[in-house]
Amino acid sequence: MNLRDLPIYNPYSDAYNSLFLTKSEVMNLTEKDNPIDVFNSWYTEAEKTEINDPTAMSLATCTKEGRPVVRMVLLKGVDERGFVFYTNLGSRKAGELNETPFAALCFHWKTQRRQIRVEGAVERVSDEEADAYFATRSRLSQLGAWASKQSQPMDGKWELEKRVAEYTAKFNVGEVPRPEFWSGFRIVPDSIEFWSDGKFRLHDRFVFAKEGEKWNVTRIFP
Ligand X SMILES: Cc1cc2nc3c(=O)[nH]c(=O)nc-3n(C[C@H](O)[C@H](O)[C@H](O)COP(=O)(O)O)c2cc1C
Q: Which of 20, 71, 79, 200 binds ligand X (CB under 6 A)?
A: 71
Q: Any contact of residue 92 with ligand X (CB under 6 A)?
A: yes
Q: Any contact of residue 202 with ligand X (CB under 6 A)?
A: no
* Longest pairwise C-alpha distance within the chain: 75
Q: Which of 27, 56, 106, 160 binds ligand X (CB under 6 A)?
A: 56
Distance CA 212, CA 222 (A): 27
Q: Which of 46, 78, 84, 93 binds ligand X (CB under 6 A)?
A: 93
Q: Which helix (H) or strand (E) holds 128?
A: helix 127-136
Strands (E), 63-203: 68-74, 77-79, 82-88, 102-109, 114-124, 182-196
* Cβ pair 122, 97 in contact under 8 A: yes
Phi, psi at 86, each rounded to 5°: -120, 150
Under rule CB under 6 A, how many of the chain's residues touch ligand X? 14
* 4 given a catalytic annotation: no
Q: Any contact of residue 151 with ligand X (CB under 6 A)?
A: yes
Q: Which of 137, 186, 201, 219 is catalytic?
A: 201
Piece of 33-41, 86-94, 102-110, 202-210 that binds ligand X (CB under 6 A)? 86-94
Residues designated catalytic: 201
